[in-house]
Amino acid sequence: MTTATVNMVRLADADCMGEAELSELSIDQLRCLYRRYRKCALYLIDAKEVDAQLARFNPKSPVEWVMAIRSVRGDCPRCRGEGIYYWGACVNGKMTHSAPCARCNGTGRVGNDDCRRAYVYDNFAIARALGF
């Protein structure tokens, strides 16, 4: 007995693919990509909101489903959707320091690209802090 194996595509490679490249993938690879992108989206927002945002794109083909799930966006967890990150001491109800949020680039909303950028930066910062 043999088991069918899906030739998986790395998310890092899939992020750089446009609609033309995605259409060359098999249906199993596209399903696998969709599941992994959905897992990332569920980290930001709940399933109801993901489905509501997907419904607005009205995807028909598997490639459109992958493109749609990549476009799902949620409130930035770092700045709580304000677009401005505060830190320092709280003096008379105001924080002493603030700057545009780096996670969401000051927009207050994060998507797949922003999460990926933040993940890569976090790994870089950890490696730098540990002296690698």
Beta strands per DSSP E along the chain: 74-75, 84-91, 94-100, 109-110
Minimum CB separation of residue 79 from Zn ion in Å reads 3
Residue 63 or 76 having the CB closest to Zn ion: 76
Q: Which is nearer to Zn ion, 39 or 80 (CB)?
A: 80
Among 66, 68, 101, 115, binds Zn ion (CB under 5 A): 101
The binder of Zn ion chosen from 74, 76, 114, 115 (CB under 5 A)? 76
For the CB of residue 101, give the shortest distance to Zn ion in the complex, in Å.
Answer: 3
> Smallest distance from the beta carbon of 64 to Zn ion, in angstroms?
28
Using alpha carbons, list the distances in angstroms from residue 22 to 14, 30, 31, 90, 110.
8, 8, 11, 49, 23
8 A C-beta contact, residue 25 and residue 66: no
Nearest residue (CB) to Zn ion, 32 versus 115: 115
CA separation for the pair 68, 51 (Å, rounded): 10
Contacting residue, 11, 50, 59, 78, with Zn ion by CB under 5 A: 78
Shortest spacing between CB 92 and Zn ion, in angstroms: 24
Residues 5, 88: Cα–Cα separation, whole Å: 51
44 binds Zn ion (CB under 5 A): no
Q: Which amino acid is at 37?
A: Y
- For residue 73, state whether it binds Zn ion (rule: CB under 5 A): no
Tokens of residue 103, six digits: 């996670």
User: Residue 35 carries which side chain, given as an amino acid letter?
Assistant: R
